Amino acid sequence: MEVLTEQELHNLAMNIVGKELEARKWEFLAVNSQLKRDPQFVCVDVNKKKHFVIVRVILYPDNPHDIDYVFMETIKQHALKFNANTYYAGVGLANATDYQKPVAKNDDYVVSYNGIVEI
* pLDDT for res 79: 96
Domain range for 36: 6-118
Does residue 16 fall inside a structural domain?
Answer: yes
Total number of domains constituting the chain:
1
Going by C-alpha positions, the residue among 95, 98, 97 that lies closest to residue 112 is 95
Average pLDDT over residues 90-112: 95
Going by C-alpha positions, the residue among 35, 29, 42, 28 that lies closest to residue 11 is 35
**Mean pLDDT score of the chain:** 96
Does residue 89 fall inside a structural domain?
Answer: yes
The model's pTM: 0.94
Does residue 1 fall inside a structural domain?
Answer: no
Distance CA 80, CA 41 (A): 15
Over 90: is that where the pLDDT of 1 sits?
Answer: no
List helix spans (H) across 1-119: 6-23, 69-80
Q: Which helix (H) or strand (E) holds 63?
A: none
pLDDT in tens, 28-65: 999 999 988 999 999 999 999 999 999 999 999 999 99
CATH number of the CATH domain containing 73: 3.40.1350.10
Instruction: Give yes or no for a contact between 4 and 105, defined as CB atoms under 8 angstroms apart.
Output: yes
